[in-house]
Amino acid sequence: MKIVAAADASADWKNQAHYVCTGYNDETVLGDAIEAEYTGGTGPIKEIQLSPGTFYIAGDIVVPPDMTIWGQGREFTLLITTGDATRIRTGGDGVTLSKFRVEGSAALVVQHSGFHALYITMQVDQQQQGAFMVMPTTDLSNITFEECVAIDCGRYGFICTAYAPGVVVSSMKFLRCQAIGCGMTDRFHNWVSGFYLSDRVALYNVEVDQCYATGNWLHGFTVGTPSEILGGYIGSCVAEENGIVRIPDDNQGAGFDVVGDVTCSGCYAKQNDIGYRASCATALSQCVDIRSRSISYRVSGCSGIRIEDCVSTYSEGYGIRMINTEAPVISNLHIIAPAGDGKACNLIGIPGSGVRGGSIDIYGEQGGSPSFIKLTDSSDVTITGLLVTTNPNPITQVGSSGISISGLVVMGSNGSGITTIQMEAEHADLAEPMTVGDDVSASGGRYVWVPDGAGTVLYRPDETVGGTATFVFSVPADDTYYMWGRTIAPHGESDSFYYQIDDSGFIRWVLPLGEQWQWASGSLGESGRAAFPLRVGEHTLVIKCREDGSKLDKIIVTNDWDFVPDGSGASVDIRVVEPIAITPDEPEIGVLVTLTATVTNAGDQAGSAMVGISVDGVMMEGAVPISLQPGESAEVSFEMMFMAAGAKHICVGVVQGNQLV
């Protein structure tokens, strides 16, 4: 290993260094150190260690095969590039670069396989196409960017661009990388984006995982223009406020621009021009969009695209706009309160470019106007789901045929009266490491949490690890429902859960910070209130650990938008108050018996609950939903048959999780 000290490094660093730079054309000294280590170093891996301080680079740095160059951290080791179009580039396979920062005009260029960059920040101008650039002249494989950041660059943050025709890049990964403000001041051209996965390069098995893009000129993440793409994955990424430029074409400015054989899963888009743009794409799954400026989901040119368990909320334009698409399969798409264009909130087809075949399962809420869905020049589309609206004509059709809406339930908003359902967290069905804690200030003196250090699952809510609390509840009518939780989030690393209702997909729930119990509405990420159109009957809510140390005391589900709980929650107290009556009073073996109990709401808020029965500690099927006004009582009855003589312990109570209380 050779140590290279900057001109402004400390005396200690200079004393131990093999080479000391002058602060002028430092690439010369670095080149000498690289050559000496490459030709005379021992071991299979050659290493160059850079001291803290500033290195001034006026020419290219070429890193030979199997060499690692690492600094002391991007806060301490800085490379300022003074030459036009300077490049730090690979000279062979197996290069690793880490722990430094680059400013000026340089680009980090990869032209060989087995490359690994980690903990590198680029803050560079508009003189080259990208900050981190993969530029293959032949087929490449196993390229990884990890914890790298492109910030305030006048160019693409990350780009893979063809240096020669017909090349293939396989197994390229971007892990926990960030592109921030690319193209915001100066720019290489008007299409600068945060992540641009392919410019005329064939991609096989590209992965973008847990990455972040915000404030970029055009797209946050774009697959680009690959000559071919197979097995692409964009997962658990966040895109916020991208699409600063408003090119006069509504297919621009997306948080996620997905093309070809790519699955986009568990991603979060907020206040982009378009949330998700899918062209000839494969699948979107468990994705969320909040307050897109024009469209949450724009789909075009696709055949058989799958959109599963996705959410659009408060779009300033359309929730979904789908054109020129064959046989889409859309399931459990929640669209809440899109603004629309004054005529329609969602477009299925436009004149001359409709949707042909397929199914759309949608759950939506809107006000009285405009129409929720407008179908144009489309055919043989089946629409199912639930729509809560006061618009008497929520579906309009123009030039369309074979449209089936018999499976779509349309209902007026809040037509069922007020329902408020309370559930103690400790009564939920818990999966480790979710466990019960004690706190005298919690409702009932107990709460649930994943203790500090027991398991944080920040980016992969679909993984089985993490710990869950599962609640089962029943609603008395079709309506839109909202969730509240009484929580403690003691600091920024313990302030979130994931949650899902039925098959909504897991949604990130960010909690207000504080060391005292406070109420948090079920959110969509860091903003936006989640709304769930639910059918009458039983539903399942799952709370999943995202950050250990977050605490949950109680859950409230209500259809009252204006309801805001305080203290330990709304006073809904549904309980069994009378002894169980058995008819006949002397049961016989093999004869049907009716068991009846009286249930009352002793609180001062209307509420609902599931009332169940257990025999000898075993919960029986057939719990009964009941809704009661304050002070109201009602009888519930169960029928069963005993097949053997003997004493039985029978209990009737309110179902919470897998318990009766």
Q: Give residue-wise pLDDT tens across range 135-192.
A: 999 999 999 999 999 999 999 999 999 877 789 999 999 999 999 999 988 888 888 9
Cβ burial of 492 (10 Å; 0-12, 13-18, 19+) is exposed
**DSSP 3-state assignment of 326?**
strand
Mean pLDDT score of the chain: 87
Statement: residue 418 has pLDDT above 60: yes
Statement: residue 527 has pLDDT above 60: no
Residue with the bigger pLDDT between 269 and 421: it is 269
CB 214 within 8 A of CB 240: yes
pLDDT in tens, 49-80: 999 999 999 999 999 999 999 999 999 999 99
Q: What was the pLDDT predicted at 189?
A: 87
Stretch 234-242: mean pLDDT, rounded?
94
Q: Tell me the residue type at 6.
A: A
Q: Read off φ and ψ for residue 6, nearest 5 degrees.
A: -75, 160
Q: What was the pLDDT predicted at 573?
A: 65
The DSSP secondary-structure symbol of 426 reads G
- The whole-angstrom separation of Cα 16 and Cα 211 is 38
**DSSP 3-state assignment of 612?**
strand
CATH superfamily of 420-558: Galactose-binding domain-like (2.60.120.260)
The full set of domain ranges for the chain reads: 420-558, 574-660
The H or E element containing residue 384 is: strand 382-388
pLDDT in tens, 462-515: 666 678 999 988 887 777 888 999 999 999 889 889 888 887 778 888 888 999
pLDDT band at 572 (very low <50, low <70, confident <90, very high): low
- The whole-angstrom separation of Cα 195 and Cα 493 is 27
Statement: residue 251 has pLDDT above 80: no
The DSSP secondary-structure symbol of 353 reads B
Q: What was the pLDDT predicted at 463?
A: 63
pLDDT in tens, 335-348: 988 999 888 999 99
**586 Cβ neighbours under 8 A, 6+ residues apart:** none
State the CB neighbour count (10 A cutoff) for residue 386: 22
Structure token digits, residue 634 = 């009602």
CB 278 within 8 A of CB 284: yes
Quick one: fold of 574-660?
Immunoglobulin-like (2.60.40)
Q: What was the pLDDT predicted at 415?
A: 46
**DSSP 3-state assignment of 524?**
strand
Where on the phi/psi map is residue 327: left (φ > 0), alpha (ψ -120 to 50), or beta? left
Q: Beta partners for 651?
A: 614
Cβ burial of 438 (10 Å; 0-12, 13-18, 19+) is exposed
- The whole-angstrom separation of Cα 361 and Cα 571 is 36
**517 Cβ neighbours under 8 A, 6+ residues apart:** 441, 442, 486, 487, 488, 553, 568
pLDDT in tens, 584-599: 877 887 778 888 888 8
Hey, do 420-558 and 574-660 end up sharing a CATH topology, with the first three levels equal?
no
Statement: residue 445 has pLDDT above 50: yes
544 to each of 78, 445, 497, 526, how far by Cα in Å? 41, 21, 6, 17
Angle at 98 between CA 95 and CA 99, to 5 degrees: 165
The H or E element containing residue 337 is: none
CB 196 within 8 A of CB 234: no
Statement: residue 367 has pLDDT above 70: no
CB 322 within 8 A of CB 347: yes
Stretch 228-247: mean pLDDT, rounded?
88
- The whole-angstrom separation of Cα 298 and Cα 624 is 43
pLDDT band at 414 (very low <50, low <70, confident <90, very high): very low
Share of the chain above pLDDT 90, in %: 54
Stretch 27-47: mean pLDDT, rounded?
89
Q: What was the pLDDT predicted at 633?
A: 86
